[in-house]
Structure 1
Amino acid sequence: MEENEHDLLVRSMTWEADGVLSVVLTHPDGAPLPPWEPGAHLELDLGKWIRQYSLCGKPGDTETYRIGILYQPDGRGGSAYVHEELRPGQTVRTRGPRNRFPLVDAPRYLFLAGGIGITPLLPMLAQASAQNIPWHLTYGGRTQATMAFLPELAPYGDAVTIVPADTAGLPDLDSLLNTPTPDTAVYCCGPEPLLTAVENLCTTWPDGSLHTERFAAAPRDKSQDGDDTAFEVECARSALTVNVSATESIVDALERSGISVPTACGEGICGTCETPVLAGTPDHRDDLLTDTEQASNRTMMPCVSRSLSNRLVLDL
C-alpha cells in the first residue's frame, strides 16, 4: 500500500436523513488516523469505483472518520454500493485525507449549503465556533426530511437558517450576496444551480471571497478551451514520450503506454490526478485550480486538461 493508504473498518452506519447515510470508519487495531482539517475529503476504493467524500466529523478527531453519502440509484454506482452492500464490520481501502477546500482565516464567514453539500461545511462551523468567529449558515434542501445532520445544527440556533424548498422555497441568495462584505469569506457547496447562482452574485465581491466545492463538473464554455488537437507528453522521470491523440485524454494515453496516473472523478474536480508541469503550456479544463493556479501552470489535471503547446513535460 502507498503511504497514505489504509484499510479501515466500518464501525457504524447511521441514517441522517431520507437517502443519506453517515459512515464511521476507524483503524482495525485502534491506531490513530492521519489528522485532517475542515474541507478535507477521503478517497474510498470500492472495487469498481473510486469515490471521494468530505469528512464531516469533528476536526482533530484521529480516532474515527465520518463521511455522509447520498443515495443516488441512477448515479455512477459508488453511492449505490455503499447503501446496498457496505455494512458495519467490513473493511474498505481509503486514501488521504486530502484538502482542496480549506477554511481560510477570515473575520467572519457566510456558509451556503445545498443538500448533501452540508457535509464539508459541518467541521467548518465547528471550527469557526470554537474560535469564536462570527458566521451564518443558510442550508437549503428539497424537504426537511431529506436534509441531513439537522440535529447537529440545532444547537447553533439563529446562526443557522434552514430552507426546505417544499415549504419555504429557495434560499434568498440576493439578500445574502447582493451587497459585498469585504471581511467575509463565502463558502458554498451543493448542486450546480446553487453554485452557479452564488458565483454570479459574487462577481462584485473582492477577489478570493468565494470558495466553492463541486460534486460534478460545471458546464463548460468550450469556446474558452483550446482546440482538441494531438500533442506529445514527455514523462520526465520515466524517460518516455507519449503521443496524445485529439480524441483521448492524457490519462488514457499514458495508461496505454504503461504509465498509471491515480484518478478518481475523471472530471477535474477532485485533485487526485494533479500532476506537476515542468515545461509546456497546459490547456486547463478543470474546476479545481483557481485562476491564479491555472495561470502559474505549475500543475494540471490530466484527466480532463490538454495542451496548448505541441509538447508538455510532466513530472511522471
Structure 2
Amino acid sequence: MTHTHSSGAGPDASHPESAPIEAIRLRHPWRTVFAVVLLLLVALFIYDAAFNRPVFNWGEVGKYLFDVRIVSGAGYALQLTVYSMIIAVVLGVAIAVMRQSPNPVVKSIAWVFLWLFRGTPVYVQLVFWGLVPTIYKSISLGVPFTEAAFTLNTKDLLSYFTLAVIGLALNEAAYMAEIVRAGLLSVDKGQNEAATALGLGWWHTMSRVILPQAMRVIIPPTGNEVISMLKTTSLVTAVPFTLDLYGRARDISAVTYQPVPMLIVASIWYLAVTSILMVGQYFLERHFARGVLQRPDVMKPTVETQSVGVVGVEDPAHPTYPGAGGGESIVPPHHRPGGGGA
C-alpha cells in the first residue's frame, strides 16, 4: 500500500495576509463620572458663593481690592519677604558650612542654632522679638567693667519693622541651612577632590564647582520657602507690626464690621503675588537643571567598520600576515585608519 505524505505548503504556496491589529482604547466610565461630579460641585460652589451668600459682599471686595492701604500693605509684605529671605540665605549658607566644619565647637553652635529656631513656633519667636525693647531697654557699648562709652535706646535703634525682619530671618535661616547642606551633600565628593587637584582654593571650589551643581537641588525648596515666607508675614502682628497686608485688611474690617470681604481681598493679593513667585521659580529651576534631563546623543563611529575574516585563499588585493603564534594568517585593516575598506 502506498501512502502519500504531504509535507505541507511549498515555498510558492500563498498565505493570506493577517489583518492589521486594531487597537481599542480602554474605557474608564467611572473616571469620567467622577470628573463630571467634581465639575458640578465646583459649579454649585461658585454659584452659591456668588448669589446665595451675602456675607461675602463682593461689592465690598471690589471696593477695597485696590485701596491705597491694601496696596501699601502688600508692599510691606513684599519688603518683609525679600529682606528676610536675603538674610536667611546668607545665614543659612554660613550655618550649613559650620555644620560641616571639623571644629566641634563650631559644629555644636550651628546645631544648637538649628535646634532652637526649628524647635519653637515662629509666632512665639516673633512675640519674643517684640518684647526685646522691654527686656533690653538700652544697649551700652564700651570696655567691660568700666563706664560705658555710649548708650543707645533700644526703641530708637530697633523699629517694629526691623524686629519683624530679624525674627522672620532667623527662623528661616534654620531651614535654609538644612536646604543648603542637602544641596552640598548631593554633589559628589570627587568634584571637590578634582578642584583641589587643579589647585583651586576653597572659595573658587565652592563658587565655581560645588554650588553651581548644588543649585539644582537647592532652588526648588528655596522657592517654596520664599512663597511660605510671604504667607508667614501675616504673623508679624505678634511683634506687633500692623502695616503688612493682613494687618491692614484686619484694621479695615474692624471699622466696617465685615471681616469676610477683607479676608477675601487679602487672599486675592496673596494668591496674585505667590503666582508671580511660582512663575519665577519655574524659570529658575529650568535654568539650573539644564542638561540634567536631556538624553545624550548616541555616539556614532568616526570610521566605517566591518568584520575582519581569516583568509584561506590568497588575495593580492588583501595581503595576509602570520599570526603572533605562527598560526593562521589574518587580514590587517586596510584602505583607511581603523579598518573598513571602501
> Which TM-score bucket, shorter chain as reference?
under 0.3
Q: TM-score, normalised by structure 2?
A: 0.19
The structure with the largest strand share of the pair is: 1
The structure with the largest helix share of the pair is: 2
Q: TM-score, normalised by structure 1?
A: 0.20
Larger Rg: 2
